[in-house]
Amino acid sequence: MRTFWLSLALITAAYLLFWLLLLWATAAYSPPEVWLNTVMKPEIRYAAALSLLTCTAAAAIALLFAVPIGYFMARCQFRGKTLLDAALDIPIVLPPMVIGICLLIFFQTSIGRSIEQVISFTYTIAGVVLAQFVVAAAFAIRTMRGTFDHLSARPEEVALTLGATRFQSFWHVALPTARRGMLAAFCIAWARSLGEFGPILVFAGATRMRTEVLPTTVWLELSVGNLDSAVTVSLAMILIAVIVLVAVRATGEKV
């Protein structure tokens, strides 16, 4: 029995050690002066600022969709629910490049062109947000659905007997109770948006000082052989990812 658990512990330790070695190798690749020089570059600072802005926008929009959809899926019983549930997970399993191509093709259709007459998405900052949102929303929806699944519907039902409408019950009882889940969903959507690369590259492009976000920077720097800058940006993204992970864990949710 003891040998069994010890073997499993060794496998876990080996896996963690592998990850720690990866991080250590990345962190030790270039000295701190190089990090500072990289961070001071205007294009890197632009990419970082754009990443923060677009990730926040994408996560906020994702939450606006995730809360009602998550509540609907958790509380409403209807025929075809399993099918809809699977459909909502499609962006999670689709290859990222495919999502980018789907977006690009959609905005070549008559509906897409009509939308672009109001707001332009292809190869714009709005396109970066949209590409991030498409994937991030699926993760946010899954988180919100889990949150509402774990909350008893009983207080919401009692609220109905106390004079509340369905909306008031949702707004005054369900939402305040789900605030930790909402924070977790926002953080997860934000982190997914930060790491998004494929759809952005295909749909919004990788134009410096325009639609360049941090993952694009890593790719652009690698493509011109500037490994130091690529490593520095990667380290910054690792740091942000760890902060988000800690924040999500603090809400009691899991990524």
Partner 1 sequence: MPQEKKFNLTIPVISLKNISWKAPGEGFKLHDISLTIPDNTYAVLMGSTGCGKTSLLEIVCGLRQPNQGQIFLDDRDVTLLEPRERRIGYVPQDLALFPGRRVKAQLSFALQMRGLSDETLIQQLAEDLRITHLLERLPEQLSGGEKQRVALARALAAQPRVLLLDEPLSALDESTREDAMTLLRTLQSKHALTVLHVTHSSSEANTLGQLRLRLDDGQIVSV
Name the residues that contact partner 1, by CB under 8 A: 77, 152, 154-155, 157-165, 168, 172-173, 176-177
CB atoms near residue 155 (< 10 Å): 13
Helix (H) or strand (E) holding 175: helix 175-177
- Provide, rounded to whole angstroms, the least separation between the CB of residue 251 and partner 1: 14
Nearest Cα neighbor of 199 from 141, 121, 143 is: 121
Provide the token pair at 95: 């290859």
Between 89 and 157, name the residue whose CB sits nearer to partner 1.
157
- Distance from C-alpha of 153 to C-alpha of 134, rounded to nearest angstrom: 29
Smaller CB separation from partner 1, 2 or 79: 79
Q: Which is nearer to partner 1, 54 or 169 (CB)?
A: 169
Could you tell me how far CA 46 lies from the centroid of its own chain?
20
Q: How many residues does the chain have?
A: 255
Residue nearer to partner 1 on the CB measure, 108 or 165: 165
CA distances from 163 to 175, 231, 234 (A): 18, 58, 53
Tell me which DSSP letter residue 174 carries.
Answer: I
d(CA 153, CA 141): 18
| Of 146 and 198, CB closest to partner 1 | 146
| Shortest separation between residue 252's beta carbon and partner 1, angstroms | 13
Residue type, 20: L
Distance from C-alpha of 230 to C-alpha of 193, rounded to nearest angstrom: 19
- Smallest distance from the beta carbon of 169 to partner 1, in angstroms? 9
Token pair 């134009």 is at which residue?
207
Closest CB to partner 1 among 113 and 166?
166
> Shortest Cβ distance from residue 167 to partner 1 (Å)?
11
* In the complex, least distance from residue 241 CB atom to partner 1, rounded to whole angstroms: 30
CB of 146 to partner 1, least distance (A): 17
